[in-house]
Amino acid sequence: MFGSLTEKFQNLFLALSKSKTFTDDNMQDAIRHVRLALLDADVNYSVASQFVKRVKEKIVGQEIIKSVSVQDQFSKIIHDELVELMGKEEPKLHSGGRPTVIMMCGLQASGKTTQTAKLAHFLQKPGSDKKVLLAACDLQRPAAVEQLKVLGTQSGTDVYSIDGSKDPVRVAKEAVAKASKEGYDVVILDTAGRLHIDDQLMKELEQIKKATSPHEILFVASAATGQDAVKTASEFDARVSITGTILTMLDGNTRAGAAISITDVTKKPLKFEGVGEKLEDLQLFNPVSMADRILGMGDVINLVKKAQEHIDEKESEELEKKIRKASFTYDDYLKQMKMVKKMGSFKSLLKMMPGMSQLGDLDFDEKEFTRLESMILSMTPNERIGKDELEHARRRRIATGSGVHVDDVNRMVKGFKRIRQMMKKMPGMKNKLLKDPSFKDILSGKM
């Protein structure tokens, strides 16, 4: 994601690492590179100009700290300004009475129906007691109602539709009435889109808005369309007053223009981002997280959220005790792999780790986890806990039982020993992290 822009910023920071202080020459050169990088990433021209102006003012007014490098000071200024530009804080969904009504809108092919189901899945995550109803109000696109029903089944969400109806306003009104009567907490209206903005589309949205008084009107835009997404969001806002945006396709090789510009141009927050094709691939938009990713600093915020969501705290504490006692076994290794698999693909997790974003492009075979699991499950209980040494005959038996070559077992044993050595150092690393104020903020939900 944002590969070209990230690379340009990193090259700029690397060039500044050779400077001992800010000078007119290196400042002007840095500012020029920032402007070109933003424009090349399809950032709105006015937004880019104002951004560069604020960065320049910050540098001129910057009190030079001798103990901090020019590179670090400049990257912090860029990071802070990106966060400011994209909204400062992680936005929240508005909630009113019961039910909360959310109206989805956007053009065709923006992924609106899919994002509707993803939002329902997000609101019904484990630990949430929210009951969500989806309303099939897109009566223009063929099979849109059926698509929503299929997605509703996948996400475990009820879908309201009226067979043969051509009146989306009626569907919306009756869905809200049903939600109110039957105790639903949220009703999400999946409205029709068009290939382009026209008066008929906008009138339909205005009528649905008038009939249901939604607490949220979320515009769904594809990040792949760049500044067209920003322009279209502004036009929707002028007619129906959107309350925020969901930006999709942020998992691909997308330019950063829409993500950086859309909040500043529309003056409405970017609330969610779609980061994959699965139902669970929707997350709250966080300006700090996005700035980190744009500058190639990983995505610690969402990595911690994933860990908190998928990793059992009790199991994690038990594993830490074993690590401290150096009693980490193959059974623990298997549990750890299962924890990681719950959080997503290994490649996606690598990209979220600071300094590891480039490794996410490695040709890593996700099936390796399955092979490791098969090998460990082919061991005897005593072999798994380390009571029986894995000499050659045992390794050959494990290879036969798991359908792999004995060399694969040898590599697995070698890798396990390296992991165990690394795990011995983890408690100290964890304590060091916990002393970091920014990491504490993440864990406490302040960031």
Query: Is the pLDDT confidence value at 159 over 80?
Result: yes
The CATH architecture that domain 3-85 belongs to is Up-down Bundle (1.20)
Q: What is the mean pLDDT of the chain?
A: 82
CA atoms within 13 A on the CB side of 185: 11
CA pair distance 167, 145, nearest whole angstrom = 13
Instruction: Please give the residue that has the higher pLDDT: either 1 or 82.
Output: 82
SS3 content of the chain, % helix, strand, coil (to 5): 60, 10, 35
Predicted confidence at residue 188, as pLDDT, reads 97
Q: Is the pLDDT of residue 167 over 70?
A: yes
Cα 145 from Cα 175, distance rounded (Å)? 14
The pLDDT, as a whole number, for residue 152 is 96
* pLDDT for 442 beyond 60: no
Question: Which residues, including other chains, have CB under 8 Å from residue 361's CB and lie 6 or more apart?
Answer: 347
Q: What is the pLDDT of residues 303-345, one digit of tens each?
A: 666 666 656 666 666 656 665 555 678 888 787 777 766 666 6
Instruction: List helix spans (H) across 136-250.
Output: 144-155, 168-181, 199-212, 227-240
Is residue 395 over pLDDT 90?
yes
Q: Are strands 132-136 and 270-274 parallel, antiparallel or unpaired?
A: unpaired
pLDDT for residue 162 is more than 90: yes
Per CATH, the architecture of 100-293 is what? 3-Layer(aba) Sandwich (3.40)
Closest alpha carbon to 349 in 416, 402, 276: 276
Q: Which of 147-156, 287-296, 308-317, 333-342 has the highest mean pLDDT?
A: 147-156
Residue 67 has pLDDT above 60, yes or no: no
Contact 370, 334 (CB under 8 A): no
Given a cut of 50, whether residue 210 has pLDDT beyond it is: yes
DSSP-derived letter for residue 421 is H
Mean per-residue pLDDT for 389-403?
Answer: 93
Distances 367 to 23, 303, 373, 377 between C-alpha atoms, Å: 52, 22, 10, 16
416: Cβ contacts below 8 Å, ≥ 6 apart: 330, 333
Could you tell me which residue, 446 or 387, shows the higher pLDDT? 387
- What are the angstrom distances between the C-alpha of 262 and each of 101, 111, 162, 247, 399? 23, 18, 35, 9, 54
What are the angstrom distances between the C-alpha of 158 and each of 100, 151, 161, 192, 435? 15, 10, 10, 19, 45
pTM for this predicted structure: 0.72
Q: Which of 78, 58, 65 is nearest to 12 (CA)?
A: 78
Q: What's the rounded Cα separation, in Å, for the pair 240 and 293? A: 32
Per-residue pLDDT, averaged over 360-374, amounts to: 68
Matching residue, tokens 């915020």: 301
Residue of 13, 92, 80, 4 lying closest to 43 (CA atoms) = 4
pLDDT in tens, 427-441: 554 454 444 444 344
- Highest mean pLDDT pick, 1-5, 218-222, 354-358: 218-222
Let me know the angle formed at the C-alpha of 204 by 203 and 208, rounded to the nearest 5 degrees. Answer: 115
* Tens digit of each residue's pLDDT (9 = 90 or more) over 346-364: 566 656 555 555 444 444 5
pLDDT at residue 204 in the model: 94
- Crossing angle of helices 287-294 and 257-266, in 10° steps, is 140
- Per the model's pLDDT, the better-predicted residue between 421 and 76 turns out to be 76
Per-residue tokens: 226: 């760049």
For the chain, the domains span 3-85, 100-293, 305-444
| Top CATH class, 305-444 | mainly alpha
Q: Which pLDDT does position 124 carry in this prediction? A: 92
Q: What is the pLDDT of residues 115-137, one digit of tens each?
A: 999 999 999 987 788 999 999 99
Q: What is the mean pLDDT of residues 171-191?
A: 96
Q: Are the CB atoms for 307 and 297 separated by under 8 Å? A: no
Contact predicate 110/220, CB 8 Å: yes
Cα–Cα distance measured from residue 282 to residue 272, given in angstroms and rounded to the nearest whole number: 7
Place of tokens 């890798």: 415
Can you give the length of the chain in residues? Answer: 447
Residues 6+ apart with CB under 8 A from 39: 45, 48
Percent of the chain with pLDDT over 70: 78
Contacts 24+ apart (CB under 8 A), 418-426: 419/328, 419/333, 420/326, 420/328, 423/323, 423/328, 424/323, 424/326, 426/320, 426/323
> What pLDDT score was predicted for residue 207?
96
Strands 270-274 and 282-284, bridge-based pairing: antiparallel
Helix (H, G, I), strand (E, B) or coil at 42: coil
Find all residues with CB under 8 Å of 304, minimum gap 6, and list them.
Answer: 442, 443
